[in-house]
Structure 1
Amino acid sequence: MTVPLTGVIPPVCTPMTPGHEVDAASLVRLVDHLLEGGVHGLFVLGSSSEAAYLTGAQRALVLETVAGHVGGRVPVLAGVIDMTTPRVLEHARVAVAAGADALVATAPFYTRTHPAEIRDHFRILAERAGLPVYAYDLPVSVHTKLSADLLLELAAEGALAGVKDSSGDDGAMRQVILRRPPGFSVLTGSELTVDAALWMGADGVVPGLGNVDPHGYVRLVAAAARGDWAAAREEQERLVRLFEIVRVGGPRMGASSAGLGAFKAALFLRGVIGHPVTAPPQIPLNADEHARIGKLLAAVGLLVRGTGT
């Protein structure tokens, strides 16, 4: 990876069998679905990949399957998310061996970590891993907001190649965009405000919903690149309507299980993966909820009734 990362980089879902093993055949079909959609990279073992639920062996299998199948056609970013630096370094060694092109890491969590320790966490990873490192700003999960000053300091040192901003703090993201050094990639993790982020100067998007509709996000980014903001807004608003699938589960399950279940249900209904299975203890969607997701897919042109396509 000798150029800054740009475009659409979906966080790839991890298809599972009914026995909760990695469904490698479905994973390969999903990768093909994303590549055919025109995406510019793939991010595996992030939140949408259910990385928190996977064993070490399952993580390795996902990485090996995706990197091996992609074969260098697009960059593969590997999530190395874990609680502390030694554990992250172990994941990094596996990712390097599997052929990943870059690493994605959050701040440490569970432990009560000082900002100086977070700074050193990223420095150590950059020094020892041998691959570009992207920070994953995800305060809802790790309970630490990566400040603009911290990100920019690490960017200036060359310790970070970019950031995936899933903080929801657009003001802070804009500070990073305005003050970043050349070559530092800013990627939004919000599916719903990509047009606004690109208008501010972000370089791309890492959308969980991009698993379901990679073509839509590629069209959005292409419209923004040519300065057709009306077309970008129109595509974004279509994707906002599609995003309603994550709310189908309602209050009977957590937001994470509802969202991941919806992505997998949509991929199953579209014929991409073999089973809409999420890892335990997530509550699965039921038949009625699958039917409602099918209606939402049909409403935005992603499902022809009776065909599963």
Structure 2
Amino acid sequence: MPASFTDRLRGIHVATIVPMRADQSVDEVALAAHIETVLSVDGVRGLLLNGHAGENFLLSSEERRRVVEIARGVSATALIVSGVNCESSLDAAREAASFEAAGADGLLVFPTNSWALGVDPESVLLHHRMIRDASTLPMMLYGAPVGAGHWPYPADLLSRLAAEPRVVAIKEGSWEVAHYEANLRMLRGQRPDFCVLGSGDEHLLTCYIIGSHGSQVSLAAVIPELIVALWDAAQRGDWEEARRLHERIYPLSVAIYRDGPAGRAAARLKTCLKLLGRLRSDAVRAPQLPCTADEITRLTRALEHALA
């Protein structure tokens, strides 16, 4: 019997970047090479496309569809989840259908940017229903960082979203371990088969100790072998090895995700790949800015520490 979508979600899935040329156009050849490289790593189970690391909020609908098509062209068998990130529910529904036609296996529904200021819960439910009705694919929720305004779903709304049978998992990126554990316990109590993926790149070890079905993380786009090794050590219960790997990974996660200014992860991930010789151009799409000299210095040191 073929493995189910949730079975295939277990383990490490790479949240990919989207290489661009100096003119900010998508470099499709480099994108295919990036996807092929991360999928070649033993233990990588699949991909998250069109996430925040993939600059989904800056790509056009046509570009996001091409990202899925290119990934499916690279691999006929890898599990592919595509993010759906649209302000309009009509656009989100169209994209869900488009991604399914392009070869996606599942959808990760992002909260719209406008919800950070506050939203009626019924509007959130309507948005997810319209996406559900536009495709046949399993759906995942996005658990936003606790510091991101009204983006994170309160427990009662999260419970209502998880009651939909087509919603089978959450990318739990609340970026705060107490909130992560509270959501994990609530969702598994409501639906024991519900998949909670610990996806806070800075505290993967803590999530794995508490419990996690797997992770969709952009840090795996840069150091996939180390992220897979951390997951494998945790699955074996080898916490001494897991802590050793965490010590190697942690400074890089801070340099990419925590160091100010905020919102710089996509640019920093690309710069890391360029420093490693895996990307020719680390261009990002405006209004994002390229890495500064200070950022490059910090990323270089953190990479050297991780790979020593």
**TM-score normalised by L of structure 2:** 0.88
In 1, Cα distance between equivalents of 2:175 and 2:300: 29
Task: Give deviations 1:123-177, integer Å, cap 9, x for gaps.
Answer: 3322332101101122555732213333334334313110011122433332332
Contact 2:90/2:130, CA 8 A, preserved across alignment? no
In 2, Cα distance between equivalents of 1:13 and 1:247: 15
Of 212, 216, 221, the match for 2:222: 212
Q: Which runs of 5+ in 2 are unaligned?
A: none
AA at the equivalent of 1:80: V
Q: Percent identity?
A: 28
The reply on whether 1:167 has 2:174 as its aligned counterpart is: yes
Report deviation, 1:25: 1.4
In 2, Cα distance between equivalents of 1:108 and 1:241: 31
Task: Give deviations 1:158-213, integer Å, cap 9, x for gaps.
Answer: 13110011122433332332242133111122112111111111111222211110
Shift in alpha-carbon separation, 1:86–1:126, aligned structure 2, 3 A: same
Which position in structure 2 is the counterpart of 1:70? Answer: 75
The reply on whether 1:260 has 2:231 as its aligned counterpart is: no
> Structure 1 stretch 13-22 or stretch 161-170: which is displaced more?
161-170
Which position in structure 2 is the counterpart of 1:129? Answer: 135
Of 253, 271, 282, the match for 2:288: 282
Which position in structure 1 is the counterpart of 2:208? Answer: 198
Task: Give deviations 1:33-92, integer Å, cap 9, x for gaps.
Answer: 2112231110011110011111222212211111221211x2100011111321211111
Shift in alpha-carbon separation, 1:288–1:197, aligned structure 2, 3 A: closer
Contact 2:97/2:135, CA 8 A, preserved across alignment? yes
Shift in alpha-carbon separation, 1:169–1:266, aligned structure 2, 3 A: closer
Which position in structure 2 is the counterpart of 1:59? Answer: 64
CA RMSD across the alignment: 2.2
Contact 2:230/2:246, CA 8 A, preserved across alignment? yes
What SS does the corresponding residue of 1:48 show, helix, strand or coil?
Answer: helix
AA at the equivalent of 1:143: H
AA at the equivalent of 1:54: L
Report deviation, 1:286: 4.1
What SS does the corresponding residue of 2:107 show, helix, strand or coil?
Answer: strand
The reply on whether 1:143 has 2:150 as its aligned counterpart is: yes
Contact 1:107/1:121, CA 8 A, preserved across alignment? no
In 2, Cα distance between equivalents of 1:58 and 1:83: 17
In 2, Cα distance between equivalents of 1:78 and 1:24: 17
Aligned length: 297
In 1, Cα distance between equivalents of 2:257 and 2:109: 28
Report deviation, 1:97: 1.3
Contact 1:46/1:79, CA 8 A, preserved across alignment? yes
Of 42, 45, 48, the match for 1:43: 48
In 2, Cα distance between equivalents of 1:269 and 1:69: 24
Equivalences for 1:210-249 in 2 at 5 Å? 210-246=220-256
The reply on whether 1:87 has 2:116 as its aligned counterpart is: no
In 2, Cα distance between equivalents of 1:16 and 1:25: 10
Q: Which runs of 5+ in 1 are unaligned?
A: 303-309
In 2, Cα distance between equivalents of 1:162 and 1:31: 23
Contact 1:104/1:135, CA 8 A, preserved across alignment? yes
